Amino acid sequence: MVTTLAGFASVDPELLKLMRTFDAPRRRVFWSIELPTALPGVFTGAKIAVIVAVIGAVFAEQAGASSGLGYLFAQSIPQLQTARAYATVVVLSAFAIVLFLLLTLAERLATPWAHQPKGTYA
C-alpha cells in the first residue's frame, strides 16, 4: 500500500495541469497519467507482499493447521528429522522465488518504459 501511494504521489503535477487544460475527464487522467506512473510502485509492493505472504502462510500452518509445509516443518524439528526440515525450507524458498520472478516478469511486460536505459527512446 505504501509503495502504491508513493507511486501515485510521484505523478508530475505539470502533467496533471496539462490534462486539466485540455479538459480531460478524470478517467482519462487516471488511465493515461496516474496509473502508468504508479505501476512500478504497485509492482514493488506486490513483490514485497508475495514474500511476506509465504512467510505468513507458514506461520499460520505452524500455529493451527494439520497439513501443509508449515505444519511439516513444525513436525520435523521435534522429531529430529533435520533433512526433512531443510527440504521444507528449500521448497518454501523456491515457491517464494518463483512467485517473485513471476511478478518481475509481469512488471517488465506491463511497464516496459520503466526498464529502458535513461536517454533511450525507441
**73 in Cβ contact with 58 (< 8 Å):** yes
Note the pLDDT tens digit of each residue in 41-71. Answer: 999 999 999 999 999 999 898 888 888 888 8
Does residue 122 register a pLDDT over 70? no
Percent of the chain's residues with pLDDT above 70: 97
Predicted local distance difference test score (pLDDT) of residue 95: 93
Predicted local distance difference test score (pLDDT) of residue 65: 83
Does residue 115 register a pLDDT over 80? no
Predicted local distance difference test score (pLDDT) of residue 112: 87
Report the predicted TM-score, pTM, of the whole model to 2 decimal places. Answer: 0.77
Predicted local distance difference test score (pLDDT) of residue 114: 79
Give the start-to-end residue ranges of the domains of the chain: 2-112
Average pLDDT, the chain: 90
- By CB atoms closer than 10 A (0-12, 13-18, 19+), residue 68 is middle
Burial track 78-116 (b if 16+ CB lie within 10 A, e otherwise): eeeeeeebeebeeebeeebeebbeebeeebeeebeeeee
Note the pLDDT tens digit of each residue in 15-25. Answer: 999 999 999 99
